[in-house]
Structure 1
């Protein structure tokens, strides 16, 4: 299992309940949820990755179970990993998902790669 499928179902249900237009995309050995063609949240193993407003990034890192996303040896500001215990309760999961959704309209889309 590359990612927690139960967590993926919970994320999908949240977005559907909010009537969010999204699609799933396999990335980083896990699953990403794309909103408006931009990465909103993702799941890698048992952790949720959330793209949140960089203005609340440092404050969010003070919350238990919220960690810097660090794939390359250099953390990416605005991207956090949340441990399984941190998002075990629906109320807690929904808090982080809503933060990611709130930031999504402000987030920049990644540049499309041209195929050669």
Structure 2
């Protein structure tokens, strides 16, 4: 399954209107990088968010959230949110803001 293009169209305006973001096809999906660091992505029909180890670990207890595991090896500090957790635009916006808050702390690449 390719990535969900309708989901991409919901995310794109939330990130691409901000300075420092770029879009890149990655791991069979689509990713948005902030200052060269991956911030948000789509894998199949789930959104990927880079939250850092502390917030990423805490987010795993939230509904519809699981570890980012597309290779059989979960990545700490990253989460995947299933469609059920992305129903409202405000849901996506909240996750995007959390990811941006973390990625802005990283040095630019």
TM-score with structure 1 setting the length: 0.84
Cα distance in 1 for residues equivalent to 2:59 and 2:46: 16
Cα distance in 2 for residues equivalent to 1:96 and 1:20: 18
Matched, 1:10 2:16: no
Structure 1 residue 108: Cα displacement? 5.8
Detail structure 1 runs of 4+ shifted over 3 Å in the superposition. Answer: 107-110
Larger radius of gyration: 1
Moved more, 4-13 or 24-33: 4-13
Return 5+ residue gaps in structure 1 as ranges: 111-116
CA deviations 1:32-68 (Å, max 9, x no partner) are 1111011111101110000002111221101011100
Cα distance in 2 for residues equivalent to 1:93 and 1:51: 13
Give the 3 Å change call, closer, same or farther, for CA 26–96 of structure 1 in structure 2: same
Give the 3 Å change call, closer, same or farther, for CA 108–26 of structure 1 in structure 2: same
Q: RMSD of the alignment, in Å?
A: 1.8
For these two proteins, the number of residue pairs brought into alignment is 109
Give the 3 Å change call, closer, same or farther, for CA 63–4 of structure 1 in structure 2: same
Return 5+ residue gaps in structure 2 as ranges: none
CA deviations 1:56-112 (Å, max 9, x no partner) are 1221101011100113322111111100110111111111100110011223667xx
